[in-house]
Amino acid sequence: MTRYLIRRLLAAIPTLLGVSVVVFLFIHLIPGDPVRAMTRDNAPEEAVQKIRERLGLTRPLHEQYMIFMLGNDTAARLRYEVARLTGNPIPVPVVTQPFRGIARGDFGNSLVTGNAIVSELSTRLPATMELALAAVLFAILIGVPMGILAAIKRGTLVDTGSMLVALTGVSMPIYWLGLMGIMLFAVTLHWVPSGSRLGVDIALDRTTNFYLLDSIISGNWVALGDALRHLILPALVLGTVPMGVFARMTRSSMLEALNQDYVRTARAKGLRQSAVILRHTLKNALLPVVTVIGLETGYLFSGAVLTESIFGWPGLGRWLYQSIIYRDYTVIQGATLVIAVIFVFANLLVDFSYALIDPRIRYT
Amino acid sequence: MKSLRVVLSIPVLLAIVLTLFGCGATPTAAPTTAPPQAAAPTAVPATPVPAPMTMTFCAGADAVRLDPADLDDEPSWLPVDHIFEGLTVVKDTSGQPQPALAERWEASADLKEWTFYLRKGVTFSDGTPLNAESYLWNIYRQWDPSHPYADASKYATLGYYLFVDYFALGKKGDANAGLQEVQQIDEYTIKFVLKDPNPLFLQYTHVVPFEAVGKSSFETYDTEAYQHPVGTGPYVLEEWIKDDHLTLVRNPNYWDKASWPLDKIVFKIIPDASARLLAVKAGDCQGMNLVSPDDAAAAAGDPNLQITLRPPANVGYVRFNMSIAPLDDLNVRLALAHATDRQSIVDNLYSGLGKPAEQWMGPLYPGHNPDVKGYPFDLEKAKGYLKAAGLEDGFTIDFWYMPVARPYFPNAKVVAEAIAADWAKIGVIANLQTEDWGQYKLDLAAGKLPIFMFGWTPDYIDGSLLDVWFKDVPLGSGSQSQCCGFANEEVNDLLIQAGAILDEDERIEMYQRVAVIVNEIVPGVPIVHTSVPNIFSAKVQGFVPVPLKTDILRGVSIAK
């Protein structure tokens, strides 16, 4: 088992390196000058050139990648060593913005706001993760039992009803659903707030920026209640599509498993229905469901632009979207890379859970 | 079977819990109530403390930086104009500057020297008194290269301070700089000496680069000072959670507290316009900006809401590149202008918030010419012009529309489609194109776009707005005259003269003459002037929509 886990972890490294190259090239090959895009139309060329130099954008592409990965101090040292060894003239150091490189955990600063990207990530990633976790939790708690029920009661009204709900969930336009949810639950019933993560009058020590966790750590139950009230509606809206997907996937996997010989054998042995379903059928039907849950979780962790925009949720998706609009390429690089890492780890988790669910996978 | 029942009952239980949780929750607290921790113990009769008056204003986008010398976006103006103050302020619908940090001012006869007398008794939010020296700190930062914080490549994300290009005031020591000298006459008197006569200088003094900035923030936070603003304005920054909310509380040192009834302002960020409207309806916000025409129409019938309209000061237009054939032919430009049904566009796409533009400057501007009526929609006339140009069978041309929403073009593509449909009636096929906004601006400035949409929301109300489009100044200086093959000596001379005289009647006459000439040359088609709407709760009182960029909450209060 341990060897399996280590092998999977090591396999993630080249994947992430590949992602870093693709992200870097993708941003740099887009036509247009990012510095011109972020400055005023009539910015003097001298000022614009100074920014390009400060950001290292005047350097060759491979050097820029080296700076991106290892920082400008390491890149300068490497340039110096190469020149010394090859006998070429020693390069004149260029004053650029200090940057330690993503390999050392420095994503640089936003070109537009000047804020450190790591600092922005520390607030936005928890916001997105909190929302995504709540949405996935909702989707699992509703979708999976609904799928099981539909499979057990195949062909009945329960099956039809469940799959109707699942189909509605899958095909529901999030934008419309979000606005309708606010209209009903915030405007008409006043059950929940219309948006944001916390009421403006609620004080909270933001240690982890996971508001639920921060509330519990600080014993601030008022903030906990308020954060929950703010979380419910966006989580339900965001979880609607995955809920439908989970329900449909669970039903089809369960139906396939229910037709297997071992299920018939279990029933022939006189096992209780609950044991047949939970111990024999569900466990075998779970693999594809877990795969889908992993993929959906990775997708939700990468941010949900629409949900975050409608509910004023300051998460990763909205941030990335704005950065694309503003051509804030350091943020685009940083955020895309983080999203890629999340996907890789979500898939790793899925692989690990395979090993837990099905012991045969450990040896393949 | 029991455990299976447990699993299957999870959704039902969850639904019950959610419902109970929701029902048990109290409705969203009214924003004017005090926070829970402020409640007095019930056993002790306390002197009633009036609840702080808080307004939550739903904004469509968050501020980028809170540094008046380094911002180029409307969302940043919103909090910045509540934290900082300029020498003058625009606070009514006239759009004209009135005393703020300067109690009074005077200009020399040749309009080259402007003297400002600072208000006494004003302090920054950190307690530093405002005087000539502390006021000029921010001016020197932008203008004097020897200032310790002058390195814009380090302290400004724009890479330069606004002075450089915004008003062409340049740098100290540069013989061509618009601002040649800054003098500290006495503790409360300052003088700006300009290179050329400039009747507009007073208009500059209410715009952000002229706001007073406290240096203590820079001394403490250096390159992160933009997150810790120190100003002399009515409010100070209490909390800023990026893309969530930005909270301002009263500046205890402010000199004119009576003009600002609100104790606390929360700018809550909700990017989606419809969701912002719902937040106002739900009572979570008491005001909002960036209202779409559809939402304004939807809100009009709601007795709990009110809509305010800024006087229409902006313009959205279609510009022709007169150096690209066939647009170099006046008949072609006239044909396109007469084939554009502005009235129909405004009636169908602006929900009553727009007025068809007859000329480049709206009626609010001194220099607007009431005799210029634009180009009436007349397809027969348009066909006649095309025939005169030898293009009776029409032609095909690229038509670029803006990829971003602006108050004058909330949805540029839809407007472009309407115009293209009109032009198709005379045989002109417009290929609609767009691209990344940064590239769009570069391409139009480089003269690559034959026909493009653009617009303007001014910083001040003055006829010199025409300079932007028609004054013959070098490329890259903000003017669109050279990008589009417009070069008219008479217009250029008139604009130069009008920019250098104080006699307002004479200036107006010159600008009106420019309007006539421009109308004859047809460098484009002004399409619309819009009244920028805001939506407020019906309980909000005292908001004055000024015809400039930001929503200033001066005088705003909330009824109980």
DSSP string, A264-281: HHHHHTT--HHHIIIIII
Q: Measured between alpha carbons, how far is residue B490 from residues B178, B328, B496 in Å?
A: 24, 19, 10
- CB distance from A310 to chain B under 8 Å? yes
A48 in B contact zone (CB under 8 Å)? yes
Q: Is the dihedral of CA A334, A340, A343, A348 positive or negative?
A: negative
Q: Do A115 and B441 touch (CB under 8 A)?
A: no
- Name the band, by pLDDT with cuts 50, 70 and 90, for residue A357: confident
d(CA B529, CA A274): 70
ipTM: 0.85
A14 Cα to chain B: minimum distance (Å): 33
Return the residue in A191, A197, A204, A283 with the most chain B beta carbons within 10 A, the one to mutate for interface testing.
Answer: A191
**CA angle (B4 as vertex; A362, B8 as ends), nearest 5:** 105
Asked if A312 lies within 8 A of B28 by C-beta distance, the reply is no
| A47/B281 CB distance under 8 A | no
Question: B484 falls in which pLDDT band (50, 70, 90)?
Answer: confident
* Residue from B202, B211, B212 nearest B131 by CA: B212
Residue A236 exposure: Cα atoms within 13 Å on the Cβ side: 19
Check if the beta carbon of residue A41 is closer than 8 Å to that of residue B441: yes
**Mean pLDDT value across residues B278-287:** 95
> Per-residue confidence at B405, pLDDT binned at 50, 70, 90?
confident
Contact B35 A203 (CB under 8 A): yes
- The SS3 call for residue A286 is helix
pLDDT at B305: 96
Q: What is the pLDDT of residue A69?
A: 82
Average pLDDT over residues B247-252: 95
SS (H, E, C) B182-220: EEEEECCEEEEEECCCCCCHHHHCCCHHHCCCCCHHHHH
CB-based contact, A54 to chain B, within 8 Å: yes
- What average pLDDT does the segment B348-361 reach? 90
Among the listed residues A46, A32, A60, A56, the one whose alpha carbon sits nearest the alpha carbon of residue A108: A56
Interface residue A40 vs chain B (CB under 8 A): yes
Report the relative pairing of strands B189-194 and B179-186 from DSSP bridges.
Answer: antiparallel
Query: Which tokens in the block code for residue A37?
Result: 């895009």
CB B190 within 8 A of CB B49: no
Q: Which residue has the tokens 């009214």?
A: B30
Whether residue A50 lies within 8 A of chain B, CB to CB, comes out as yes
Question: Residue written as tokens 């032609």?
Answer: B395
Which of helix, strand or coil describes residue B269? strand
Please answer yes or no on whether A146 and B247 come within 8 Å at the CB atom: no
* C-beta separation of B205 from B86 below 8 A: yes
Contact A138 B476 (CB under 8 A): no
For helices A221-258 and B10-24, what crossing angle results, to 10°?
Answer: 160
Rounded to whole angstroms, the Cα distance separating B235 from A276 reads 67
CB of B261 within 8 A of CB of B542? yes
Q: What percent of chain B has pLDDT over 70?
A: 88
- Cβ-defined contact of A312 to B64 (cutoff 8 Å): no
> Residue B277: pLDDT band by 50, 70, 90 thresholds?
very high
Quote the CA–CA distance of B6 and B4 in Å, as a whole number: 5
Give how far Cα B404 sits from Cα of B316, B407, B408, B411, B436, Å: 13, 10, 11, 8, 9
The size of chain B, in residues, is 560
Structure tokens at A190: 């006043």
Rounded distance between C-alpha atoms, residue A103 and residue A337, angstroms? 11
Span B393-403, average pLDDT: 94
| Residue B398, both tokens | 């690229």
Of B242, B247, B283, the CB nearest to A123: B242
| Mean pLDDT across A148-171 | 91
Find out whether B529 and B355 touch, Cβ atoms under 8 Å. yes
Dihedral pair phi/psi, residue A26, rounded to 5°? -55, -50
Distance separating alpha carbons of residues A195 and A313, to the nearest angstrom: 7
Interface of A with B in 78-137 (CB under 8 A): 111-115, 120, 123-124
**Close Cβ partners of B125 (under 8 Å, ≥ 6 residues apart):** B83, B214, B230, B231, B232, B233, B236, B251, B252, B253
Q: Is B158 on the interface with A (CB under 8 A)?
A: yes
CB contact at 8 A, B267 and B96? no
Q: Note the pLDDT of residue B46.
A: 56
Q: Hey, are the CB atoms on A200 and B269 less than 8 Å from each other?
A: no
What's the pLDDT score for residue A208? Answer: 93
On chain B, the residues whose CB falls within 8 A of the CB of A187 are: 278, 281-282
Terminal CA-CA length for chain B: 58
- B361 burial via Cβ count (<10 Å: 0-12, 13-18, 19+): buried
Residue A191 DSSP one-character state = S
Cα gap B285→B272, rounded to integer Å: 14
Q: What's the first-to-final CA gap in chain A, in angstroms?
A: 11
CB contact under 8 A, A120 and B159: no
DSSP A324: H
Write down the pLDDT at residue A355: 77
- pLDDT tens per residue, range A107-134: 888 888 888 899 999 999 999 999 999 9
**CB contact B520 to A (< 8 Å):** no
Maximum distance among all Cα pairs of chain B, rounded to whole angstroms: 97
Determine the residue type at A159. D
Beta partners for residue B541, in sequence order: B557
Alpha-carbon distance B57 to nearest alpha carbon in chain A (angstroms): 11
Q: Which residue has the tokens 């009109």?
A: B422
Question: What residue ranges do the domains of chain A occupy?
Answer: 34-104, 117-357
Residue B290 pLDDT = 86
What is the percentage of chain A residues whose pLDDT exceeds 90? 36
Strand pairing category for B315-320 and B524-530: antiparallel
> Which residue has tokens 């501007």?
B365
CB contact (8 A) between residue B3 and residue A274: yes
Residues of A in contact with B56 (CB under 8 A): 200
Mean pLDDT throughout B162-172?
77
| Cβ-Cβ contacts under 8 Å, B32 against chain A | none
Q: Is the pLDDT of residue B4 over 60?
A: no
| Burial (CB count within 10 angstroms: exposed 0-12, middle 13-18, buried 19+), residue B265 | buried
Residue predicted with more confidence, B239 or A54 = B239
Which residues pair with residue A99 across a beta bridge? Answer: none
**In this complex, do A114 and B54 lie within 8 Å of one another by their Cβ atoms?**
no
Q: Looking at chain A, how many residues does it have?
A: 364
Q: Does A318 touch chain B (CB under 8 A)?
A: yes
Do A179 and B278 make contact, defined as CB atoms within 8 angstroms? yes
| pLDDT of the residue at B361 | 93
pLDDT surpasses 90 at A322: no
DSSP-derived secondary structure letter, B324: S
- Contacting residues of B for A123, CB less than 8 Å apart: 241-242
User: CA A104 to CA A32: how far, in whole Å?
Assistant: 29
Confidence bin at B116 (pLDDT 50/70/90): very high
Average pLDDT, chain B: 86
pLDDT at B169: 84
pLDDT of residue A275: 85
Give B51's contacts in chain A (Cβ within 8 Å). none
Confidence (pLDDT) at B17: 46
Predicted local confidence at residue B54, as pLDDT: 94
- B189-194 and B113-118: which strand pairing? antiparallel
Rounded Cα–Cα distance for residues A139 and A146 (Å): 10
List chain A residues with CB under 8 Å of B35: 201-203
Say if CB B183 and CB B190 are below 8 A apart: yes
Residue B494, pLDDT above cutoff 90 = yes
Which CATH fold topology does A117-357 show? MetI-like fold (1.10.3720)
Alpha helices in B243-288 (DSSP H): 273-282
Percent of chain A exceeding pLDDT 70 equals: 91
Q: Looking at the predicted structure, is the pLDDT value of residue B39 above 60?
A: no
pLDDT at B482 over 80: no
Give the per-residue pLDDT at B370.
93
Measured distance CA(B18)–CA(B11) in Å, rounded: 10
Model pLDDT, residue B165: 65
Is a pLDDT exceeding 60 seen at residue B36?
A: no
pLDDT of amino acid B388: 95
- Classify strands B264-269 and B54-59 as parallel, antiparallel or unpaired: parallel
pLDDT value for B43: 47
Report the candidate in B310, B293, B501, B330 with the shortest Cα–Cα distance to residue B405: B293
| Mean pLDDT, rounded, for A255-281 | 87
pLDDT of residue A70: 79
* Spatial contact of A332 and A118, defined as CB atoms under 8 Å apart: no
Is B18 a residue whose pLDDT tops 70? no
Of the given ranges (A215-219, A357-361, B260-264, B425-429), which has the lowest mean pLDDT? Answer: A357-361
Residue B542 has pLDDT above 90, yes or no: yes
Residues 43-102 on B with a CB inside 8 Å of A are 54, 56, 61, 64-65, 72
pTM (2 decimals)? 0.84
CA dist A62 and B483 (Å) reads 36
Q: Nearest residue on chain B to A220, judged by CA atoms?
A: B37
Higher pLDDT, B468 or B401: B401
Q: Which residues pair with B193 in a beta bridge?
A: B113, B181
State which residue of chain A sits closest to B438, comparing Cα positions.
A37
Asked if B241 has any chain A CB less than 8 Å from its own CB, the reply is yes
Of the listed ranges A97-106, A320-329, B374-383, B447-456, the one predicted with least confidence:
A97-106
Chain B closest-CA separation from residue A127 CA (Å): 10
Q: Which helix (H) or strand (E) holds B375?
A: none
Residue B189, CB-side half-sphere exposure with 13 Å CA sphere = 7
- What 3-state class would DSSP assign to B364? coil
Mean pLDDT over B105-130 rounds to 94
- State both tokens at B89: 């302020």
Q: What pLDDT does residue A101 have?
A: 77
- What is the predicted pLDDT for the residue at A139? 95
> Phi and psi dihedrals of B10, rounded to 5?
-55, -50
Spatial distance between the Cα atoms of A268 and A280, rounded to a whole number of angstroms: 13
What pLDDT score was predicted for residue B29?
Answer: 37
Please check whether residue B537 is in contact with residue B280, taking contact to mean a CB–CB distance below 8 angstroms.
yes
pLDDT, position A40: 60
pLDDT for the residue numbered B40: 38
In this prediction, residues A140-155 reach a mean pLDDT of 92
By three-state DSSP, how is residue B250 classified? strand
Q: Exposure of B23 by Cβ count < 10 A (0-12 exposed, 13-18 middle, 19+ buried)?
A: exposed
pLDDT tens digits, B321-352? 999 999 999 999 999 999 999 999 999 998 88
CA nearest A107: which of A67, A76, A135? A67
